[in-house]
Structure 1
């Protein structure tokens, strides 16, 4: 058993500051364990959001020594013996109290995404998917909605005005998942650019770096989605077809064999 210095942000949406605590730390513990001990011994009114304590619910997202992480997955053994630990709420979202943020922005963006659109008249079991398509969807569905990728995305973090027009990497990944689903008939390329702000993303991969599920958000979702949007807008054959009447309109879904496709295991 050792004593460690924790600097924990205390306050609400109006104001706050870091408070220093000397807390007992035992072998094998994670940051969330220490925060629970802090609640039990020194700060019973400390607000911390958590649920599963297994890295699968995404509830305990916060910033630990300046890096967005899950408190239940940040092992104390990874910090130096004399290193203090600074714990602050996610900076992109409004603070409710202490380490708890209002992440309702993310749920609002989730509701704006059109749902899965199967072919007319189809029923469950009418189609079979290739294993490559299954694996692609499974990677995206590993998301635990911790919103660390949303928190670290500088397009949202540094520009409050972008929250109206930019969905962020988590929900652009959802758009990409549906757009690349072989049985989704909606053409989502226009709304990805015009409504969800895909063009704001400059693929810095900061979202991928903080993902606790190791989803390759940039390489496997955002870049392929950008390629499809560019093909739709600049492909000369698509443009020519729309001009001579081979397409009913620019937003009409293209037949599966003419839609922009990507190849390779990461696409």
Structure 2
């Protein structure tokens, strides 16, 4: 089928409220949902608000919910839908609506600022860091994040409980804490910062019940739950309850 007319329902409105509007749009072979949204803008609703940038799945701007599932519009091919079905596009549910498909994701930038930065080793300059390749590879997985915030949107702790947002950083930023906590060159502990304790006490690690919904929607295929959140939970519990780990934390390092 080279082209056909598809039925769409697109949410229109603002912070005061809105509803789904019906559109009949031509779909051509090889197109993605973002193509259709642009066609709706060009032919039927020029004031339709949508956020996008690269159209290559690398900027994370065009996040939305398509048939109820958080996705990138530029990476969701129309071929995955039955031509007879109605495709529904709505804004990310976890964040306040600005207008139409655009949401205010400022919550995520606030949480990013709350995560203390990498603490470099004392006495080492740029280009002097040395790490095992396996440590580089482990950290590199998390650095693939494009900050589309689909994981934040689908996490029910954020999505269904507005009151949790103050105390819970969400999977994207707990993953950042985990990355720094396992980084062999991070010397946060030397400054008195226990990243595991901070994850538990300040970033709400205990709220996460590892349902893996964040991993399921990640467009970069990052194993957020298995490789970041679960190991971080294990280390946090060890530091708090394992007597040998606790004792080891009280013994200072010998300095040459």
TM-score (norm 1): 0.90
Spell out the pairing of 1:1-267 with structure 2 (5 A cutoff): 1-186=3-188, 187-240=194-247, 246-247=250-251
Give the Cα separation in 1 of the matches to 2:246 and 2:195. Answer: 17
Task: State the SS of the aligned residue for 2:93.
Answer: coil
Give the Cα separation in 2 of the matches to 1:84 and 1:149. Answer: 25
Give the Cα separation in 1 of the matches to 2:130 and 2:124. Answer: 12
Give the Cα separation in 2 of the matches to 1:94 and 1:161. Answer: 14
1:164 Cα shift? 0.3
Task: State the SS of the aligned residue for 2:165.
Answer: helix
1:240 Cα shift? 4.1
The alignment's C-alpha RMSD in Å is 1.3
Gaps of 5+ in 1: 249-253, 256-267
Give the Cα separation in 2 of the matches to 1:239 and 1:31. Answer: 52
Residues 28/241 of structure 1: CA separation in 2 closer, same or farther (3 Å cut): closer
1:54 Cα shift? 0.4
Give the Cα separation in 2 of the matches to 1:40 and 1:104. Answer: 29
**Which deviates the most, 93-102 or 116-125?**
116-125
Task: State the SS of the aligned residue for 1:164.
Answer: coil
Which residue does the alignment assign to 2:191?
none
Gaps of 5+ in 2: 189-193
Moved over 4 A (4+): none
Give the Cα separation in 2 of the matches to 1:118 and 1:11. Answer: 47
Give the Cα separation in 1 of the matches to 2:156 and 2:55. Answer: 28
Give the Cα separation in 2 of the matches to 1:240 and 1:114. Answer: 25
Contact 2:4–2:83 (CA<8 Å) still a contact in 1? no
**Which deviates the most, 75-84 or 204-213?**
75-84
1:118 Cα shift? 1.4
Give the Cα separation in 2 of the matches to 1:241 and 1:116. Answer: 23
Give the Cα separation in 2 of the matches to 1:76 and 1:38. Answer: 15
Residues 34/126 of structure 1: CA separation in 2 closer, same or farther (3 Å cut): same
Per-residue displacement from partner, 1:233-260 (whole Å, max 9, x unpaired)? 0111233457xxx447xxxxx78xxxxx
Per-residue displacement from partner, 1:101-127 (whole Å, max 9, x unpaired)? 000000000011111101222212333
TM-score (norm 2): 0.94
Give the Cα separation in 1 of the matches to 2:100 and 2:247. Answer: 57
Give the Cα separation in 2 of the matches to 1:203 and 1:63. Answer: 22
